[in-house]
Copies of this chain bind each other. A is one copy, B any other.
Amino acid sequence: MIQEIEFVLPDEIENRSFEIISEELKGKNIVLKAEQEMVIKRVIHTSADFDYADTLAFSEDAVRKAKELIAQGADIVTDTNMALAGINKGILAKYGGEAHCYMAEKEVMEIAKESRSTRAAVSMEIAAKIEKPVIFAIGNAPTALLKLYEMLEKEIFRPAFIIGVPVGFVNVVQAKELIAGTDIPYIINRGRKGGSNVAAAIVNALLYELNKSE
């Protein structure tokens, strides 16, 4: 039988959702690290998928470092216009940061075609020219992570932070593990799952935490 519609005021829907998530994590005996809690819960909120409590992986002090970067005005580069649409650009702008996605730019398409590369990989090369710290929020293309890894190995470019949560079936698992093996601070999601929505949720969790703490 279907439950009845619960009466919840618009402003309270999100709080009620986080209460339910907290209760169910407790029911599953999952205890999250305090620093990571709001990131993981926001990803569960955006996916209704409790697997993320097990698979999201953080480098040491990742949340503190990402928040510091944002507070210092870091830019965010993402690999989909969907993630770009989902990121709270208003809060980011308060700290001097901008969010970018180069995927739909004509130049990117042309270079990708000529070089038999992916648009995501070409986008990373363009992002590497940004002259301030950049947080990468990759929700779709493992080839974006592979390009970041390659540029790091060749000492061409160092990302300030990598949120590596592409979703899919071809090289997705491998690309995320490569990033986790570097010395760049990261938040990744082990396994195949992830997505633009997950990338945006992680960025927004960081933005909201930072904004709240001021």
Q: How many residues of A contact B (CB 8 A)?
A: 49
B48 adjacent to A10 (CB under 8 Å): no
This chain's copy number in the assembly? 2
Q: Check A116 for interface membership: any CB of B closer than 8 A.
A: yes
Q: Check A183 for interface membership: any CB of B closer than 8 A.
A: no
**CB closest chain-B residue, reference A13:** B170
Mask: chain A, 1-31; 1 = CB below 8 Å from B; 0 = not: 0111110111001001100110000000000
A residues 186-212 touching B (CB-CB < 8 Å): 191-197, 200
Contact of A82 among B86, B116, B173 (CB under 8 A): B86
Mask: chain A, 139-181; 1 = CB below 8 Å from B; 0 = not: 0000100100000000000000000000111111111010000
B197 adjacent to A20 (CB under 8 Å): no
Q: Check A182 for interface membership: any CB of B closer than 8 A.
A: no
**CB closest chain-B residue, reference A81:** B85
Residues of B within 8 A of A193 (CB): 47-49
Q: Check A46 for interface membership: any CB of B closer than 8 A.
A: yes
B48 adjacent to A197 (CB under 8 Å): no
Residues of B within 8 A of A85 (CB): 80-82, 84-85
B6 adjacent to A170 (CB under 8 Å): yes
Instruction: Name the distance in Å between A158's Cβ and chain B's nearest Cβ.
Output: 21
Residues of B within 8 A of A117 (CB): 10
Given contacts A5-B174, A10-B118, A17-B170, 13 further A-B contacts (CB under 8 A): A2-B173, A2-B177, A6-B170, A10-B143, A16-B169, A17-B169, A20-B170, A45-B168, A46-B195, A81-B85, A81-B86, A82-B85, A195-B197
In the A-B complex, the 7 residue pairs with the smallest Cβ-Cβ separation, listed nearest first, are A48-B192, A85-B85, A17-B169, A20-B169, A81-B85, A82-B86, A10-B118
17 pairs, CB–CB < 8 Å, chain A vs chain B = A5-B171, A5-B174, A5-B175, A6-B170, A6-B174, A10-B118, A13-B170, A21-B169, A45-B168, A45-B169, A46-B167, A48-B167, A48-B193, A82-B82, A82-B196, A85-B85, A197-B197
